[in-house]
Amino acid sequence: MGLTNEIIKNRLSEKFGGVLTEWGEPYGLLTLTAPKEMNLKVMNFLYDEPDLKFRFLTDLTAVHYPDRKGEELCVVYHLHNMVDNIRIRLKVYAPVDQPDVYTATGLFSSANWMERETYDFFGVNFVGHPNLKRILNVDEMDYFPMRKEFPLEDQSRIDKDDEMFGR
């Protein structure tokens, strides 16, 4: 039960100094932001250190913030230390015109499909991924539908001939 957010924060700041920013604890979950080329270094550190042991990748996804110029896409990792039962949230920001982020597949096999899904919906280019192609959408798609500029269908449209399903 020894591990607390405070200890993790100190260990990380000792190792990486000032490059980790935006510390926070929304709803008790330690959250931090790393520069995008540091994501693997931070995760490796969290994975390998015998007292940290964040060896379970719970979730990997992205968020699109069109207003944050130069860092529109945010890749979010949720890591879990099952021994001490504590979670951590790691974020990296990437620009939308060149969203290159290093892949975590070397560390976690589970990242494979989660990164493919993130690529599929946000277009985050995971550098080094063994099989980065669309997973839920069709391969021919030429846009990334979860980005904010991609609109949902206008429900009041009348030009659509859809007699079969009657709308």
How many residues sit in the footprint of another protein (CB under 8 A)?
Answer: 35
Q: What is the C-alpha separation between 132 and 8, in angstroms, rounded?
A: 32
Q: Considering the complex, what minimum distance in angstroms separates the CB of residue 147 from another protein?
A: 10
17 CB-near residues (< 8 Å, 6+ apart): none
Is 152 an interacting residue with respect to another protein (CB under 8 A)?
Answer: yes
Site stretch for another protein (CB under 8 A), options 5-13, 24-32, 35-43, 157-165: 24-32
Residue 76 CB neighbours (<10 A)? 16
Binding of another protein by 3 (CB under 8 A): no
| Residue reference for tokens 């949720």 | 78
Binding mask 63-92 for another protein (x = CB under 8 A): xx-----------x-x---x--x-x-x---
Question: How far is 152 from 6, CA to CA, in rounded Å?
Answer: 42
**17: contact with another protein by CB under 8 A:** no
Helix axes 39-48, 5-16, angle to 10 degrees: 130
Q: Does 38 bind another protein (CB under 8 A)?
A: no
Contacting residue, 6, 109, 127, 128, with another protein by CB under 8 A: 109
**Residue length, the chain?**
167
Cα dist. 108→76, 82, 129, 161 in Å? 15, 15, 12, 46
Task: Name the minimum Å distance from CB 18 to another protein.
Answer: 23
Of residues 59, 66, 127, 128, which one binds another protein by CB under 8 A? 59
Residue 5 touches another protein, criterion: CB under 8 A: no
- Asked whether the beta carbons of 89 and 51 are under 8 A apart, the reply is no
- Of 73, 52, 51, the closest CA to residue 63 belongs to 73
| CB closer to another protein out of 138 and 158 | 138
Binding region for another protein (CB under 8 A) out of 15-23, 37-45, 96-104, 130-138: 130-138
